[in-house]
Structure 1
Amino acid sequence: MNTPQDSSIVLERQLLFQLGDRLKRLRKAQGLGTVEMAQRVGISRTTLSAVESGDPGPSMGTYLRVMSALGVGADLALLASDVMQPATPGSAAAQSRRARPAVQVLVSADASRHQAQDLQSLALHTEAVRLVRANPALLQQAQDTLERWLGAGNSRSAGLWKEWQEILREGKWRKALGRTRRAQELRQASPLPTVLPEQVRQDVLAQVSGLKKGVVLGDDITP
């Protein structure tokens, strides 16, 4: 199935997840530990962990440096070179009838390993954070919801809710937007999805459903 032209937060995050997982597998296949790899690239182990988790926090330059250290940066470097510029009108290259290279990338989420569920949760929270940062009323709504939950009495999630109080108060969004076990636990006890408009929620669910089937990015290579 083809992806629509408009940007998809779910698709973007899954692309980073796949890239991070691929880089982690390459590092292990080359027998490199995290300490040695981080030293080669000139970054901290924390930053390397973020890259291998597909975290959007590290810059694209950091991702490229990790790829270069693993020996897979050449193809992406070509995209930034003059070679990829359109041929000069009237030149032999411009008149060539050779078909341009076809490039396709399959993006998918593995539902069998709860990958799709985690991606859905992460996408919902990414959208919610974007909204509450722009609208103080929504932030207050999330805080009010949290206070109601805490006031309802003892709960196994009380510790996570108290941590959410700090996150909401101080805007420590990255604590809940990572792929760590703690971030996943925080998202499971989060008040943020309650502020999302129903249409936003349904859009995210539809995007994740599409990824379970697989989304193809790139040129149509069908004859």
Structure 2
Amino acid sequence: MIRPELSSVLDRQLLLQLGDRLRRLRKAQGLGTVEMAERVGINRATLRNVEAGDPATAIGTYLRVMSVLGVSGELALLAGDTLLPPPADSAGARSRHPPPIVHVQVSAESGRHRLQDLQSLTLHEEALRRIKTDPALLLKARTVAQRWLDTGDPRSAGLWREWLQILDAGAWRKVLGRTRHAQQLRQASPLVTVLPEDVRQAILAQVSSLRNGVALGGESHQPQDDPSSGPES
């Protein structure tokens, strides 16, 4: 079983991998984004969110995309009886035969930038979760962004000015995407400064733990973290 402390980062990685897979399937079937969006009944922006593994997008939208691509049948693994406990026998006892175990290997892609992107997204989503429950943290992030703009490297001034606009407008989707510009914004982000150091280090450790993959389903050997490599910075 996966360690509980891995669940949030693992869930995020699963969505990222699902979005990537759906995008590859669409391209393999020769479907452009316009035609695909029309078939699903959504706009292109929503399709981009699905292919980016956006956790805020409704599960029904993911299901419709999967249906159009012909892979919705795979949901039978979750919705069917296979994963339910076996029924009691005539004597009222449980069957001795356990249900089949679904064993999936989930691994963050080996490329360093993929791990960094997962790490960046997770840090920002946690920061936003905390800001929504404690508005004072938003003021802290804005103060940091303004200080950086006043005293920091002029080459990043444009990104920090944009951050001030994002913080004022609450335009969070702009920084949670997987576009190059969203990645640039996250690299110059004041949001992670609102996270306590122990929370930040815990997220870095979780991402590092995914380096060798995590087994889902049944008892399995957990990969050991490579002692020679620390968390991505």
Fold-level similarity (TM above 0.5): yes
**Structure-2 residue corresponding to 1:159:** 158
Q: Give percent identity, aligned residues only.
A: 62
Q: Distance in 2 between matches of 1:82 and 1:161?
A: 52
Q: 1:7 Cα deviation (Å)?
A: 6.0
Code of the aligned partner of 1:132: I
* Aligned CA-pair RMSD: 2.4
Deviation digits for residues 43-69 of structure 1, max 9, x if unmatched?
Answer: 111111111111112111111111111
Counterparts of 1:14-163 in structure 2 under 5 Å?
A: 14-77=13-76, 79-80=78-79, 86=85, 88-90=87-89, 96-152=95-151, 155-163=154-162
Q: Distance in 1 between matches of 2:220 and 2:170?
A: 46
Q: Secondary structure at the match of 1:58?
A: coil
Q: Distance in 2 between matches of 1:198 and 1:183?
A: 24
Q: 1:89 Cα deviation (Å)?
A: 3.3
**Structure-2 residue corresponding to 1:192:** 191
**Structure-1 residue corresponding to 2:12:** 13
Q: Distance in 2 between matches of 1:132 and 1:106?
A: 34
Q: Secondary structure at the match of 1:25?
A: helix
Q: 1:99 Cα deviation (Å)?
A: 3.8
Tell me the TM-score normalized by structure 1.
0.88
Code of the aligned partner of 1:219: G
Code of the aligned partner of 2:148: W
Counterparts of 1:207-218 in structure 2 under 5 Å?
A: 207-218=206-217
Q: 1:163 Cα deviation (Å)?
A: 1.0
Q: Distance in 1 between matches of 2:10 and 2:22?
A: 18
Q: Which stretch of structure 1 is more off in the superposition, 110-119 or 187-196?
A: 110-119
Q: Distance in 2 between matches of 1:39 and 1:101?
A: 38
Q: Distance in 2 between matches of 1:66 and 1:91?
A: 43
5+ long unaligned stretches in structure 1: none
Q: 1:216 to 1:85 in 2, by over 3 A?
A: closer
Code of the aligned partner of 2:188: A
Q: Is the 8 A contact 1:102 1:220 kept in 2?
A: no
Q: Distance in 2 between matches of 1:54 and 1:90?
A: 42
Q: Distance in 1 between matches of 2:37 and 2:168?
A: 33
Code of the aligned partner of 1:120: Q
Q: Is the 8 A contact 1:55 1:179 kept in 2?
A: no
Q: Is the 8 A contact 1:102 1:221 kept in 2?
A: no
Tell me the TM-score normalized by structure 2.
0.85
Q: Distance in 2 between matches of 1:138 and 1:180?
A: 26
Code of the aligned partner of 1:36: E
Q: Secondary structure at the match of 2:101?
A: coil
Q: 1:5 Cα deviation (Å)?
A: 2.9
5+ long unaligned stretches in structure 2: 222-233
Code of the aligned partner of 1:52: E
**Structure-2 residue corresponding to 1:171:** 170
Q: Distance in 2 between matches of 1:153 and 1:85?
A: 57
